[in-house]
Amino acid sequence: MGMVDWVKNKLTAIALATSSVEKTALGQGGGNELGSTSKHQRHRQGSLADALNQGEVTQEVQELRWRMYKVLEEAQKFKTEVVGYDEDGFMMTEQTLIEEGNLGKNTLNKIKMDDTEYSETDEAIADGYEYYPLELLVNNDIITMSLSDVLVDEKEKPERVLKCEREFRPKFDIEDYTKKMHVRTISDTEKLLEFYVTKYADEDNRKSRFFLSEIKKSIKNPRMTDFLDITNVMFISYNTVGVKDLMEFDYKISGFDKIVEFDGYYIIKFKAEVLKNGESIYEKFRDVDLDERYKNKEKRKDRD
């Protein structure tokens, strides 16, 4: 990964964290749920880092967030590729403009899915089989440990791109074990969501073996387990193939479809209704006043 891409990934990770500070600050039930540290006098109290860590939306936080979004918005118009090395062994890179509307579409067309070959047969066509094309490939990466991890290196549970909502707490959270998710197009308002979970246990996570057992139970009888009981699937795009970073998606689950085995994965499928289909969080957090100052090219000392 080149330096430009490394910086872009770090900025995106921080931007994802800052995009949810209001939700973190309020929590469920309207109370502050940021931990016991809020009960004590903090040595960083009043600083930008402390405001971010505590979920306080100060003017400094708003301006920092919008500056990052402006930088990322411009950076995503280009891709960086390694074109060679100079005589001293240093990497030489080249930036090219990404065509609008071509964010990984060629890559999506090359991805084989569990029913791709069947969909191309004459028998399938004769049977009126409906093949749902791949719209997005969501890599369920760890985006950051938390704002604390980014700012002050305090370790917490890793956060992943996918977020699932449910009415009751299950024994296992499907998003914790999902490697990637395919979003396939049924229509403009309905999608097929496919969670890819590796069939092989993670030696570093003892719970993964038990989760795989739950999947096997679900194949026989979906009602025997509770990890399928999700109501919504949400994510903000980050290294997602088919769309630029920092776009917001929200799908309401309309029903469980099936579980199949393919290429070393269990694929857990749901049908879903579209609530948000790529809304820009740039617009959600736009700072009109700061944006106008940038357009007027005011110097920093004039803005502060």
- Token couple for 147: 């704002």
Name the H helices within 77-144: 105-110, 116-119, 122-126
Judged against a pLDDT cut of 90, whether residue 63 lies above it is answered with no
- Residue 210 — very low, low, confident or very high, per pLDDT cuts 50/70/90? very high
- Residue 173 — very low, low, confident or very high, per pLDDT cuts 50/70/90? very high
More confident residue, 146 or 195: 195
- Residue 37 — very low, low, confident or very high, per pLDDT cuts 50/70/90? very low
Mean pLDDT for the stretch of residues 59-68: 67
More confident residue, 184 or 75: 184
The answer to whether residues 278 and 248 touch, using CB atoms and an 8 Å cutoff, is yes
Given this model, what pLDDT does residue 170 score? 94
Judged against a pLDDT cut of 60, whether residue 20 lies above it is answered with no
Q: How high does pLDDT run on average in the chain? A: 75
More confident residue, 14 or 168: 168
Given this model, what pLDDT does residue 180 score? 96
Mean pLDDT for the stretch of residues 261-277: 96
- Token couple for 210: 């038990």
Mean pLDDT for the stretch of residues 242-270: 94
Mean pLDDT for the stretch of residues 80-95: 67
Judged against a pLDDT cut of 60, whether residue 60 lies above it is answered with yes
More confident residue, 206 or 37: 206
The answer to whether residues 196 and 180 touch, using CB atoms and an 8 Å cutoff, is yes
Q: At what angle do helices 288-295 and 59-75 cross, to 10 degrees?
A: 60
- Residue 159 — very low, low, confident or very high, per pLDDT cuts 50/70/90? confident
The Cα-based distances of 166 to 73, 206, 208, 258 in angstroms read 32, 24, 20, 19
Distance CA 296, CA 215 (A): 57
DSSP string spanning 20-87? THHHHHH-TTSS--S-GGGGS--TTTTSHHHHHHHT---HHHHHHHHHHHHHHHHHTTEEEEEEEE-T
Lowest model confidence (mean pLDDT) among 100-109, 157-166, 260-269: 100-109
Given this model, what pLDDT does residue 18 score? 59
Judged against a pLDDT cut of 60, whether residue 184 lies above it is answered with yes
Judged against a pLDDT cut of 60, whether residue 248 lies above it is answered with yes
Mean pLDDT for the stretch of residues 223-233: 95
What contacts 297, CB < 8 A, 6 or more positions away? none
Q: State the virtual CA torsion across 151, 153, 156, 157 in degrees, nearest 10.
A: 80
Q: At what angle do helices 3-18 and 59-75 cross, to 10 degrees?
A: 140
